[in-house]
Amino acid sequence: MTATITDVARRAGVSMKTVSRVMNNEASVAEATRKKVKSAARELNYTPNLAARGLAGSKSYLIAMLYDIPSPGYAINIQKGATDACREHSYHLVVEPLETADDNFVDDVESLLGHLRVDGVVLAPPLCDNGEVIRILAKRNIPYIPIAPSAMHGETPIVKMDDVRAAKEMTQHLIELGHKNIGFIKGHPRHSASALRFEGFRDAMRRADLRIDPELIAQGQFTYKSGVEAAEALLSGKSTPTAIFAANDDMAAGVIACAGRKGLTVPDDLSVAGFDDTPIADNVWPRLTTIRQPVREMGYNAAKRLLNNSDSDEPRIILLDHELIVRESTAAPK
């Protein structure tokens, strides 16, 4: 039915091997031959068979993305970035959603990685901090790149953004607006980004010689509800903040809702800042000032690094730029 390499070879009047060379863009093929082969291939509508290629060359032309992510937007964007990189190399991306909570989680991963032979794995958070997964990957000798892991992975390069600096920038933005009494809502304690973002906040406050009122620090869970509750606490204490920086957008949206119910106008009475630039940031009123994470880029770079097996002198840490996005939820205190 579909044309094979032999058909193309016959039609172009060359050997199979030469066709193979052309298809793989190898050097040492005369220009004339290359043209001949290419047009023969086009005429026959030939496309190489992945399985055969994989079997002969012991590559699968597949990479996998393993994830267990609550946030769909995050996962989709990593995928988008990774598939972009894949296309540049004629690779494809297999997705494997996992449930860390499952009893047979480890078995699942084992059998998965057994059946499927991938040439590399993109490890999305929080899986990149999962010892079991790492162990299995290492045992099977499968190259992987963790995205935003909380620690280094030996020699393996990692891809991440700078949460501390981003939080620092956001805090500075608030300070430059003229805010002095700034509240902060921390993220889920078990998520490594939480500590980093708080650290950035603290650094910026300290550098501006601003006091951090302990009453203005609340513990959140990264959820909308926890944002509402934290705001409730912050806004009913003695010292009222003129701005609240929540460690993610969901909580920030909760703050806005809470402020509204308390009769406070955002941003006139209270500035609110978020983090992540998830869809909700654009779907509340006023729209959230936030930090855009380079999610797509992280996926892209992780996959790219996997596919360029130039184990050369490239940096061990691929640090990608975030972006401070100023919308209507922050302004100078009235």
Partner DNA sequence: AAATAAATTGACAGCGCTGTCATTTTGGCG
Partner DNA sequence: CGCCAAAATGACAGCGCTGTCAATTTATTT
Which of 222, 214, 212 is closest to 189 using CA atoms? 222
Choice between 4 and 181, CB closer to a copy of itself = 4
What are the DSSP calls for 281-319, one per residue? HHSSSSPPBEEE--HHHHHHHHHHHHHS---SS--SEEE
Which of 96, 117, 91 is closest to 305 using CA atoms? 91
Site for a copy of itself (CB under 8 A): which residue of 6, 15, 24, 47?
47
Q: Which long-range contacts (CB under 8 A, 24 or more apart) does 228-232 make?
A: 228/254, 228/255, 228/257, 228/258, 229/254, 230/185, 230/254, 230/255, 231/185, 231/255, 231/258, 231/259, 232/258
Q: Find the part of the chain contacting DNA (CB under 7 A) among 16-24, 75-83, 131-139, 155-163.
A: 16-24
Q: Is residue 151 at the binding interface for DNA, with CB under 7 A as the rule?
A: no
The token pair at 62 is: 């597949």
Q: Is residue 228 at the binding interface for a copy of itself, with CB under 8 A as the rule?
A: yes
Q: Is residue 111 at the binding interface for a copy of itself, with CB under 8 A as the rule?
A: yes
Compute the least distance from the CB of residue 110 to DNA, in Å. 16
Distances, alpha carbon 18 to alpha carbons 31, 67, 155, in Å: 12, 41, 38
Spatial distance between the Cα atoms of 37 and 124, rounded to a whole number of angstroms: 41
Q: Is residue 317 at the binding interface for DNA, with CB under 7 A as the rule?
A: no
Q: Is residue 20 at the binding interface for DNA, with CB under 7 A as the rule?
A: yes
Q: Which residue carries 């099977």 as its tokens?
A: 140
Q: Is residue 45 at the binding interface for DNA, with CB under 7 A as the rule?
A: no
| Backbone torsion region of residue 61, taken as left when φ is above 0, otherwise alpha when ψ lies between -120 and 50, otherwise beta | left
Site for DNA (CB under 7 A): which residue of 35, 39, 52, 211?
52
Contacts (CB under 7 A) with DNA, residues 25-44: 27-30, 32-33
Question: Do β-strands 158-161 and 271-273 pair in parallel, antiparallel, or remain unpaired?
Answer: unpaired
Residue 136 near which of DNA, a copy of itself, none (CB within 5-8 Å, type-dependent): none
Q: Is residue 118 at the binding interface for DNA, with CB under 7 A as the rule?
A: no
Contacts (CB under 8 A) with a copy of itself, residues 242-301: 250, 253-254, 257, 260-261, 279-280, 282-285
Q: Give the interface size with a copy of itself as a residue count (CB under 8 A).
A: 48
Spatial distance between the Cα atoms of 275 and 64, rounded to a whole number of angstroms: 28
Q: Is residue 54 at the binding interface for a copy of itself, with CB under 8 A as the rule?
A: yes
Compute the least distance from the CB of residue 167 to DNA, in Å. 47
Helix (H) or strand (E) run with residue 224 in it: helix 224-236
Partnered with residue 81 across adjacent β-strands are: none
What binding mask, one character per residue, do residues 188-227 give for DNA by CB under 7 A, x or -?
Answer: ----------------------------------------
Residue 262 near which of DNA, a copy of itself, none (CB within 5-8 Å, type-dependent): none
Give me the residues that bind DNA (CB under 7 A), please: 4-6, 13-18, 20-21, 23-24, 27-30, 32-33, 46, 48-49, 52-53, 55-58
Give me the residues that bind a copy of itself (CB under 8 A), please: 45, 47-52, 54-55, 60-62, 72-73, 75-77, 79-80, 83, 87, 90, 92-97, 108, 111, 114-117, 224, 228, 250, 253-254, 257, 260-261, 279-280, 282-285
